């Protein structure tokens, strides 16, 4: 009963009408083909097999050809029609008209209705199976048609943009005043941090070149990492990491040049990034000092009238200035790391501390000279605000410079708020005497700290050479331990 309800329901009638994609003419041709097939078979039966009406004694009934062909090729409704016509013809042959109750019961007793029922249900089930594939093909055709319309629209927009750009390029942005303004703004990049340079680049594009939405990504390992963005909400920039090959920026990495929408569409395998076509208008690479693509600026939103060749060239110029500024910052920081002296605090870098201590240790052992090492730490340094941290560090350094001798070498240690000193020709007792004065002066200087906040506390420890020590680590580790810092072995295990 459920099958019969499905067959004759209104929804199924609508589905059967929708299954014929080429309209009524094709539907008429299909049903005409079914009727003609049965008519031909009936004529053959009447002319050549008069003694076997309806082919009832045939081992393989000819009607199966029509039923199976119609159901397996045309789907549900043609299969249902073919099965129904075959069943009706067999029933008419069996009953020779409208059957009485007695005749119907006799046919049921000899199972005479098996063949009509087989025709009907075979047409229904085979047609239903075929209909699933026909529906899938129809959905695919619709999807392809939509994609074709999308590409046709994009093509028309590109053709229109080319015509508009030819007019606009003659009068927009090419003036000397605009370039001069950009240059004066870009000169500020020289004194900024990398984060400020990235943000300043996009702000310059927004302020001077009418870029309403843009983002800057840098390649870090196998991911594009978002460094800055304009024209986006906080929710839109939450996902700041994109897989290297899953983003359209991989095309810039491969082509090593700027790509506008037209260039992207001309790349053969760019269709795998089709979902990003409507998100990006242009992609401009940021080059490293070696000439490789280190990052990409995505121009995502811009007025149509401002999106032309001259403006894109200026955007490329600004991005190139950004890359040069980032290279200069990296060169400067690399040079700072290689220097032995810290320009901020006017003391030695930590990178040279162990080397200097090892050399002084060897010299002291060779000539049997006194040598002491000092370790100092500002307790709870991380809970203070950054301006307070800098004031505390400068205070400690100035006190160390004033109380220690000129031959003593003061270093920044491994962590912020920690300091060390190598003191040749000085015993531990002499060094601790100087440290007492230093601690009193620091306490005096910080006595005016606010009572509602934590009070700064400076802890120091000194250690003197013992000529039975194996190397400089035996001199340094006790001072580190008493100061509450990790030993050299503990630091090595943590870093590995």
Q: What is the pLDDT of residues 293-309, one digit of tens each?
A: 999 999 988 887 788 88
Q: SS3 of 4, please? A: helix
| Residue 6 pLDDT greater than 60, yes or no | no
Phi then psi for residue 260, to 5 deg, are: -95, 180
In the chain, domain spans: 2-143, 176-335, 341-495
Residue 98 clears pLDDT 60, i.e. is over it: no
- Alpha carbon distances (Å) from 386 to 156, 393, 416, 447: 56, 11, 11, 20
Please tell me the predicted confidence (pLDDT) of residue 19.
44
Tell me the per-residue pLDDT of 108-117, one tens digit each, with 9 for 90 and over.
Answer: 554 456 667 7
Is it the case that residue 127 has pLDDT exceeding 70? yes
How is domain 341-495 classified at the CATH fold level?
Alpha-Beta Plaits (3.30.70)
Give the global pTM.
Answer: 0.44
C-beta separation of 226 from 238 below 8 A: no
| Residue range 176-335, CATH number | 3.30.450.40
Q: Is the pLDDT of residue 138 over 70?
A: yes
Is residue 237 predicted with pLDDT exceeding 70? Answer: no
- pLDDT of 354 strictly over 70: yes
CA torsion sign, 13 to 14 to 17 to 19?
negative
- What is the spatial distance between Cα 134 and Cα 78, in angstroms, rounded to a whole number? 13
Mean pLDDT over the full length of the chain: 79
């Amino acid at each position: 009963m459920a099958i019969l309800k499905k067959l004759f329901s209104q929804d199924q009638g609508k589905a059967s009408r929708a299954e014929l994609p080429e309209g009524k003419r094709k539907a008429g041709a299909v049903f005409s083909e079914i009727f003609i097939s049965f008519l031909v078979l009936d004529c053959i039966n009447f002319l050549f097999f008069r003694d076997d009406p309806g082919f009832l004694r045939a081992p393989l009934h000819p009607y199966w050809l029509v039923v199976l062909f119609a159901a397996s090729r045309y789907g549900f409704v043609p299969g249902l029609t073919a099965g129904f016509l075959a069943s009706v013809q067999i029933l008419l042959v069996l009953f020779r008209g409208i059957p009485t109750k007695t005749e119907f019961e006799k046919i049921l007793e000899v199972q005479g209705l098996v063949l009509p029922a087989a025709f009907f249900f075979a047409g229904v089930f085979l047609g239903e199976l075929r209909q699933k594939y026909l529906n899938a093909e129809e959905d695919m055709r619709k999807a392809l048609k939509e994609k074709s319309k999308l590409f046709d629209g994009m093509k028309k927009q590109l053709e229109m943009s080319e015509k508009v750009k030819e007019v606009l390029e003659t009068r927009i942005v090419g003036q000397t005043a605009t370039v001069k303004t950009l240059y004066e703004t870009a000169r500020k990049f020289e004194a900024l941090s990398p984060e400020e340079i990235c943000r300043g680049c996009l702000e310059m594009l927004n302020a001077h070149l009418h870029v309403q939405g843009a983002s800057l990504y840098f390649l870090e390992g196998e991911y594009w990492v978002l460094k800055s963005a304009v024209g986006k909400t906080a929710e839109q920039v939450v996902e700041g990491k994109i897989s290297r090959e899953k983003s359209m920026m991989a095309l810039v990495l491969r082509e090593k040049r700027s790509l506008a929408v037209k260039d992207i569409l001309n790349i053969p395998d760019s269709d795998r990034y089709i979902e990003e076509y409507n998100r990006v208008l242009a992609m401009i690479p940021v080059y490293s000092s070696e000439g490789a693509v280190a990052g990409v600026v995505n121009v995502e939103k811009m007025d149509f009238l401002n999106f032309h060749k001259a403006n894109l060239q200026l955007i490329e110029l600004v991005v190139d200035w950004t890359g040069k500024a980032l290279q200069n910052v990296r060169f400067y920081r690399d040079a700072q790391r290689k220097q032995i002296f810290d320009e901020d605090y006017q003391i030695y870098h930590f990178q040279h501390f162990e080397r200097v201590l090892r050399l002084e240790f060897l010299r002291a052992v060779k000539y049997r000279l006194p040598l002491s090492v000092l370790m100092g730490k500002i307790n709870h340094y991380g809970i203070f605000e950054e301006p307070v941290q800098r004031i505390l560090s400068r205070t400690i350094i100035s006190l160390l410079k004033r109380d220690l001798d000129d031959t003593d070498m003061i270093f920044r240690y491994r962590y912020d708020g920690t300091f060390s000193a190598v003191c040749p020709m000085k015993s531990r007792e002499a060094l601790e005497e100087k440290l007492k004065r230093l601690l009193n002066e620091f306490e005096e200087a910080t006595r005016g700290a606010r009572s509602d906040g934590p009070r700064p506390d400076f802890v120091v420890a000194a250690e003197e050479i013992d000529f039975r020590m194996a190397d400089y680590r035996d001199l340094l580790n006790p001072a580190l331990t008493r100061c509450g810092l990790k030993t050299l072995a503990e630091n090595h295990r943590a870093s590995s």
